[in-house]
């Protein structure tokens, strides 16, 4: 991957939104540290104050915030508080990395098309939860992850980059999840962010554009 450069040279401002371990967050932090991504994470925010990913960010000197949904009357009120905190960072991109709550349409509309998500399946196959188990049960031969622009439809926004590996005969949902994370997601998400930050992939009024051409299907890489 060539170093990402914004046209004005300024590192892209990222807010990363997490709920759990933060392995994707850590992969993005590594890509920034070793110069593969011209970006700065200005804030890691979570709906879960105990998320191990928050500690990873703290140790790296990145600002963190947690907002507990229990303190709000409903999802809309929680989303508003989250949006206000995020907007204060003036982010170029809002990066969902294992954020396990659904974002309401007001939140999405406020920031679209600058919210990005990684989903552990080859979308449009296996939207939603338990993707690894469902891929095995469906007899899929390959499985992986997709990076997409977030729209109000859950896991339904335009996908611009995917990566896959072969499902092994002895894979269980856990072994497959682990391999998708370590072999695919940890490389895929930084690569996809590089696409956006470098301007190689853009969102236009007519859809996604890659190197000036309409992107008719996701960029796909085999990771095995
Ligand atoms: C990843 O599999 C990601 O694709 C999904 O949730 C999981 C989060 O893992 N959205 P982590 O918190 O990044 O370790």
Q: Dump pLDDT digits (tens) for 106-140.
A: 999 999 999 999 999 999 999 999 999 999 999 99
Q: What pLDDT score does 7 carry?
A: 57
**DSSP, res 15:** E
SS3 state of residue 157: coil
For ligand 1, mutation pick of 18, 118, 121 (most atoms within 8 Å of CB): 118
Q: Is the peptide bond before 113 cis (omega within 30 degrees of 0)?
A: yes
Centre of ligand 1 to C-alpha 90, Å, is 24
Does the beta carbon of 104 sit less than 6 angstroms from any atom of ligand 1?
no
Query: Which ligand 1 atom is at minimum distance from the Cα of 53?
Result: 12
Q: What pLDDT score does 1 carry?
A: 36
Strands of the chain, DSSP E = 12-18, 39-46, 64-66, 93-96, 115-119, 142-149, 159-166, 201-204, 207-210, 213-214, 219-222
Please give the angle made by the CA atoms of 73, 76 and 78, to the nearest 5 degrees.
65
Centre of ligand 1 to C-alpha 55, Å, is 16
53-62, long-range: CB < 8 A, 24+ apart: 53/18, 53/20, 53/21, 53/22, 53/25, 53/26, 53/97, 53/98, 54/18, 54/22, 56/22, 56/25, 56/26, 56/29, 57/16, 57/22, 57/25, 57/29, 60/29, 62/29
Q: What pLDDT score does 5 carry?
A: 46
Domains of the chain: 12-202 (3.40.50.170)
Exposed / middle / buried, residue 145 (Cβ in 10 Å: 0-12, 13-18, 19+): buried
Parts of the chain with a pLDDT under 50:
1-5
Q: What pLDDT score does 16 carry?
A: 99
Does the beta carbon of 186 sit less than 6 angstroms from any atom of ligand 1?
no
For ligand 1, mutation pick of 100, 134, 184, 185 (most atoms within 8 Å of CB): 185
Q: What pLDDT score does 9 carry?
A: 79
Does the beta carbon of 144 sit less than 6 angstroms from any atom of ligand 1?
no
Centre of ligand 1 to C-alpha 206, Å, is 30
Q: Judging by DSSP bridges, how do beta strands 93-96 and 142-149 pair with one another?
A: unpaired
Does the beta carbon of 101 sit less than 6 angstroms from any atom of ligand 1?
no
Does the beta carbon of 21 sit less than 6 angstroms from any atom of ligand 1?
yes
Catalytic residues: 119
Q: Judging by DSSP bridges, how do beta strands 207-210 and 201-204 pair with one another?
A: antiparallel
Does the beta carbon of 23 sit less than 6 angstroms from any atom of ligand 1?
yes
């Amino acid at each position: 991957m060539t170093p990402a450069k914004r046209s004005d040279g300024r590192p892209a401002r990222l807010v990363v939104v997490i709920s759990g371990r933060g392995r994707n967050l850590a992969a993005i932090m590594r890509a920034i540290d070793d110069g593969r991504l011209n970006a700065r994470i200005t804030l890691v925010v979570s709906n879960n104050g105990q998320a191990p990913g928050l500690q990873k960010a703290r140790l790296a000197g990145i600002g963190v915030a947690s907002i507990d949904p229990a303190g709000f009357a409903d999802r809309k009120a929680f989303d508003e508080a989250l949006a206000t905190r995020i907007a204060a960072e003036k982010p170029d991109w809002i990066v969902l990395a294992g954020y396990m709550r659904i974002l309401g349409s007001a939140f999405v509309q406020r920031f679209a098309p600058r919210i990005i998500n990684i989903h552990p399946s080859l979308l449009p196959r296996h939207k939603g939860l338990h993707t690894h188990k469902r891929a095995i049960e469906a007899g899929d031969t390959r499985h992986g992850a997709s990076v997409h622009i977030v729209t109000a439809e859950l896991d339904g926004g335009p996908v611009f980059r995917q990566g896959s590996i072969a499902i092994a005969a002895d894979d269980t949902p856990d072994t497959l999840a682990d391999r998708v994370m370590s072999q695919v997601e940890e490389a895929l998400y930084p690569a996809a962010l590089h696409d956006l930050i470098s301007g190689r992939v853009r969102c236009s009024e007519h859809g996604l554009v890659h190197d000036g051409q309409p992107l008719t299907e996701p960029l796909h890489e085999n990771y095995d």
